[in-house]
A and B are shown apart, each in its own frame.
Chain A
């Protein structure tokens, strides 16, 4: 998994690419730290370049959502594509997290 931050105004954009699985939980930890402790009041995680996700990857995104909400921040997922979109539809992901396209 790869990621990059782009902070514009009070919104933190997190671009996550490649694959997001259990093996990536250590790499993803700084993302959660930044979402939780960073100054941005709004967080948008862009998954346009994410090819595959497993249950742990979805778990990481839900965990990031929980941590952001605990800090009173808004959290959105954007640009679901391919396999990620199929998984999101299967689990009614839009009922668990705010999803925008």
Chain B
């Protein structure tokens, strides 16, 4: 028989031992099963170990991805400016403040401009008044000269008696001529000052016209700029918020994936338990195998079989397997003594 031929080397030829055909089949089955179970156990452990390594790598990669996304979320709303982190949301406020500051300076300049023109207008009025005074002085001076001439004529008619009076009238004429020269100089100066002031006023008006031409005075430029700025900045902030939201979702998803993979890795550890169970079964079968080989007649002995059962149970360290065999062999579940071998800690 094929079974006998294949098992011949292992079951026959042992001195002093006689086994039945059924025993040989039983022993062959046990030995083959042991071998297959051991190979399966090793194979499962090896494959499961490889899977665990792969999943661990996947977990690390996913966790790294989640960390990078988290970092991106915190960075996407900020920009570096002169070595400092600036929140994008503060930029619109900063730009609006800058625009308001520039516009307020325009207002201050406008106020000073019209104030200056009012002051210059007032000076022009006073210069005009001064010119009128000088003209009056000239008129009075002309009368003074006429009086002086009349006095000289009258003094000449009166002869030597009025010679002193003639000297006085001559001096009056000289004084009058001096006043006339002074009035002329004053008039020249006031006209020069008036001309200069009018040039300044004209220059200011030209400047205002130029500013008006480029739209700086009716604030159309500032108003348009402010509206555009608000629209752009609102869009920027909204877009930034959207990106943060999407990245936040991605981060959460990456974390969830990492957690799932971690659960898978934990679940994969079943191979340890499976190997322990397999090893326990293999040990039991080896006990049986040795018993049949060494003491075939003992299979018919109640006492020896009971001893064998107890030996088998004592040799099992895995609680659940030992309990199962106790239940099977003795029909009851004895109080199991925990064996602290550190293996059953799942």
Contact = CB atoms under 8 A, between A and B. Distances in A.
A100 interface: no
Interface string B100-111: 100110110111
B100 A87 contact: no
Secondary structure at chain A's binding surface: helix, strand, loop or mixed? Answer: helix
A56 B121 contact: no
A87 B219 contact: yes
Contact of B113 (A59, A90, A92): A59
Contacts of B219: 54-55, 87, 90-91
B208 A32 contact: no
A56 B114 contact: yes
A10 B103 CA distance: 35
Given A22-B217, A29-B118, A55 B107 contact: yes
Contact of A56 (B110, B222, B226): B110
Contacts of B103: 90-91
A27 interface: no
Which of B110, B205, B216 counts the most chain A CB atoms within 10 A? B110
Contacts of A22: 114, 205, 208, 212, 217
Interface residues of A, number: 22
Contact of B114 (A52, A63, A91, A92): A63
A65 to B, nearest CB: 9
Interface residues of B, number: 26
Secondary structure at chain B's binding surface: helix, strand, loop or mixed? Answer: helix
Contacts of A52: 218
A25 B212 contact: no
Contacts of B104: 91-92, 96
Given A32-B118, A63-B114, A54 B212 contact: yes
Interface string B216-256: 11110011001000000000000000000000000000000
Contacts of B315: none
Nearest to A52: B218
Contacts of B226: 90
A59 B223 contact: no
Interface of B: 100, 103-104, 106-107, 109-115, 117-118, 121, 205, 208, 211-212, 216-219, 222-223, 226
Interface of A: 21-22, 25-26, 29, 32, 52, 54-56, 58-60, 62-63, 66, 86-87, 90-92, 96
30 contacts: A21-B212, A21-B217, A21-B218, A22-B208, A32-B118, A52-B218, A54-B217, A54-B218, A55-B106, A55-B107, A55-B110, A55-B211, A55-B216, A55-B217, A55-B219, A56-B114, A58-B110, A59-B107, A59-B109, A59-B110, A59-B111, A59-B113, A59-B114, A59-B115, A63-B115, A66-B115, A86-B223, A87-B219, A92-B104, A96-B104
